[in-house]
Structure 1
């Protein structure tokens, strides 16, 4: 599932640590879906490699609790996968619970405190290493090492500081440029580039955005008399509600949040501030993108925005296809392109990890469900809807497999080069995959960014102000204070 363009409201580190200590101590007799709790070093003795799960010790039906957040469309796709799993595994039932995205972190923390953690769940990406440091997540290394679970792309790997494999993203997701082809046709403008090597420069992108921005009198931002207070069509809606949505531009300019080896903080670099300011100025000075206040008057998701013709282009995750799909059924001609660049092509990848809790009473069955959910062959509904991309390299290189996951109507003809190839050529993993302090850094960075998007301070001012605190957290190397 996608991040829905929103930033999570995570429980504080101290609350999380307290909950884990209170609810998941090694001498507890409760946890998961009930039963004995395991310490972080305990592992299930074995996991079945067949298509059928091993029988429960009692020979009866095992119920696994699974928790995630999801939109209505995502929930439908996920339920189809669960139904297929239960049809093949008669001795396993799934108690599927989906909660609001903004409430997910608090929900898990409350479950930990009350000793009712699920057996398996989605995990907020920024929180994964924080939970790992608390010792409550199962190390899945042996199941990947022995072939029980097929190998995944390294760019989607979550590893704790002490080397434990928490898992991989259930889906690989990258940031792309969505657009309404009809609006380009009406304006007589060629579609955005769909090949990494042909990406627009920032200036080219800005010029097209100007041509596609109209006020109520049909004027463009660079024309005399343009009314910035009465814009009826925006050239682009830049989603900057979370850092991984704007960092592609900073990385493209030679900056970013942190270096890809996790050894250097880059937020204070001039290249970072320059790129972020240009993103902010699309709304503040160029008037081709809505300000946060103006965005409140736009339809909810990317599909609705494009279909309404109030937005011509939108940067967000490729997972937005799940929201674009219903509009395609109503006649929207959607397109997808690569992001504009400053100095080099760059996109970020994301993707929530699936995790298994050490407190599960049914580790073998939990592994069986995990294996199913991580198998691209068992998730066709999620590919068809556009919400997921595979996490296995062969699905990006084998023509037959590429056709299998990109053939649905919501995937436009240019999807192969604009997304599949782009993911291989220009992806920079979001730091939550490898940086223990990522979540704590975000608690400083993300609130401060509001001042940039609102035009209250420049990006340079904000980054210089918050750098000392971020540097202190970064140097600590700790996911939890």
Structure 2
């Protein structure tokens, strides 16, 4: 969705507070749930909904498809708010949380998750960080992932290259990619469309060296450091000198190329394993290359957000999400769809053992959540800032712009954006 459209929708969302649906105090309380999942995923949620309704006759969860594409969920919710027919629960991207937190129509879930019975500390830190904005919990985790390296064992074997070890460095990564590059095969790939898919692959290298995206007070950019320049220069050298990087202009080709044996390593999340396994690729997974022993990665959690359609409905929605995210249900929802567990306790269940058998090396992604120590900043200006950094990364890899120049430009533009957003 284009940024101008997003901003208009968010303005309407904020203006739409007070337009929630009527809270009918008679009969079972109805909770409308816009989960945004495709048909195969929706079947899992239908079964969970039926089970909850049967066990709670005073509640009726209505699992409705608010949109067939989660990308459009914000637009659907905005239209519903304007029409006085807002859902009670909706699936929302984590990057929307800072905007949503400004709306009084979004129900405050702080007391829900801070109840000791909820087990908030059982969720990984990046999930909790994305859910909370300025001390207010505006969402309950729905999906969590992170970035690691998926590699093609057959290509490594053919090139006589050892599989990556858990203590590898970025210099090791570059050398490995160069050795794999031959006979029409690229050692690795990078999506350079300039969006968040470009940017979030760069943040781990910044964090691993002690850097930050923003200043401590959130008023200035902080990513333009000598270490960040060095990290981006490494990718520039791999692309231009080593020619070991396939530059994916739209972000949609690198995974199919990996599946067909044309790319040796990709930086991706657990979602990629579905297609990799389906194409019968002999693969392995390893944590991100590190700096001085730090293998920090980035996670991309999304949330269930509750809209305030009256106290009775909001509390019923919060109670349902409390049940849905307990380990037993988490195993059926998250693991059943090939996603990582939302909670650490889920890993102790038999379902998790089967999950790791069905998706070999997926446990590397789960354990890698401990390397996701920070979250992208929960500020309204982040989407615009991300665009500027994405443009900088693309200009270095594709256009050959020196990293120092590209990041300096991105920092100046980001500071102007941050100033305007205050």
Residue 130 of structure 1, CA deviation: 0.9
* Equivalence for 1:404: 352
Residue 81 of structure 1, CA deviation: 3.1
CA distance in structure 2 between the partners assigned to 1:431 and 1:178 by the alignment: 23
* Equivalence for 2:365: 419
* Equivalence for 1:269: 225
2:240 alignment partner, one of 258, 265, 284: 284
* Equivalence for 1:318: 270
CA distance in structure 2 between the partners assigned to 1:411 and 1:164 by the alignment: 36
Q: Secondary structure at the match of 2:118?
A: coil
Change (3 A) 1:60 1:201: closer
Residue 312 of structure 1, CA deviation: 1.7
* Equivalence for 1:64: 32
1:201 aligns with 2:169: yes
TM-score by length of structure 1 reads 0.74
Residue 347 of structure 1, CA deviation: 0.7
1:431 aligns with 2:376: yes
CA displacement, residues 245-294 of structure 1 (integer Å, 9 cap, x when unaligned): 22112222443423688576322212112212322443333211212349
* Equivalence for 1:137: 106
* Equivalence for 1:18: 11
* Equivalence for 1:243: 199
Larger CA deviation: 253-262 vs 365-374: 253-262
1:146 aligns with 2:115: yes
Q: Secondary structure at the match of 1:310?
A: coil
Q: Secondary structure at the match of 1:191?
A: coil
Does structure 1 retain, via aligned residues, the 8 Å contact 2:93–2:301? no
1:306 aligns with 2:258: yes
CA distance in structure 2 between the partners assigned to 1:65 and 1:208 by the alignment: 47
CA displacement, residues 371-398 of structure 1 (integer Å, 9 cap, x when unaligned): 23322321334544564222334446xx
1:159 aligns with 2:136: no
2:43 alignment partner, one of 59, 72, 79: 79
Paired residues for 1:329-344 under 5 Å: 331-343=280-292, 344=294
Change (3 A) 1:14 1:94: closer
CA distance in structure 2 between the partners assigned to 1:184 and 1:63 by the alignment: 52
RMSD: 3.2
CA distance in structure 2 between the partners assigned to 1:170 and 1:316 by the alignment: 19
1:352 alignment partner, one of 293, 299, 302: 302
* Equivalence for 2:330: 379
CA distance in structure 1 between the partners assigned to 2:3 and 2:43 by the alignment: 26
Residue 119 of structure 1, CA deviation: 1.5
Of Structure 1 and Structure 2, which has the larger fraction of its residues in helix? 2
Change (3 A) 1:307 1:292: closer
CA displacement, residues 45-84 of structure 1 (integer Å, 9 cap, x when unaligned): xxxxxxxxxxx8433583513143x5x5xx5235313322
CA distance in structure 2 between the partners assigned to 1:140 and 1:295 by the alignment: 35
CA displacement, residues 69-103 of structure 1 (integer Å, 9 cap, x when unaligned): x5x5xx52353133223233143331133433544
Count of matched residue positions in the alignment of Structure 1 and Structure 2: 407
* Equivalence for 2:65: 96
CA distance in structure 2 between the partners assigned to 1:387 and 1:13 by the alignment: 29
Q: Secondary structure at the match of 2:32?
A: strand
Does structure 2 retain, via aligned residues, the 8 Å contact 1:213–1:233? yes
CA distance in structure 1 between the partners assigned to 2:249 and 2:13 by the alignment: 39
CA distance in structure 2 between the partners assigned to 1:403 and 1:279 by the alignment: 39
Residue 149 of structure 1, CA deviation: 2.8
Paired residues for 1:353-368 under 5 Å: 353-359=303-309, 362-368=313-319
Does structure 2 retain, via aligned residues, the 8 Å contact 1:136–1:357? yes
Residue 401 of structure 1, CA deviation: 3.9
Does structure 1 retain, via aligned residues, the 8 Å contact 2:147–2:268? yes
CA distance in structure 2 between the partners assigned to 1:407 and 1:67 by the alignment: 23
Change (3 A) 1:173 1:17: closer
1:185 alignment partner, one of 134, 157, 162: 157
CA distance in structure 2 between the partners assigned to 1:462 and 1:471 by the alignment: 14
Does structure 2 retain, via aligned residues, the 8 Å contact 1:178–1:336? yes
CA displacement, residues 109-168 of structure 1 (integer Å, 9 cap, x when unaligned): 44444444322112122211111113331111111223453323333122222x211134
Change (3 A) 1:79 1:294: closer
Q: Secondary structure at the match of 1:15?
A: helix
* Equivalence for 1:452: 396
CA distance in structure 1 between the partners assigned to 2:155 and 2:285 by the alignment: 14
* Equivalence for 2:57: none
Q: Secondary structure at the match of 1:311?
A: coil
Change (3 A) 1:10 1:114: farther
Residue 440 of structure 1, CA deviation: 4.2
Does structure 2 retain, via aligned residues, the 8 Å contact 1:320–1:387? no
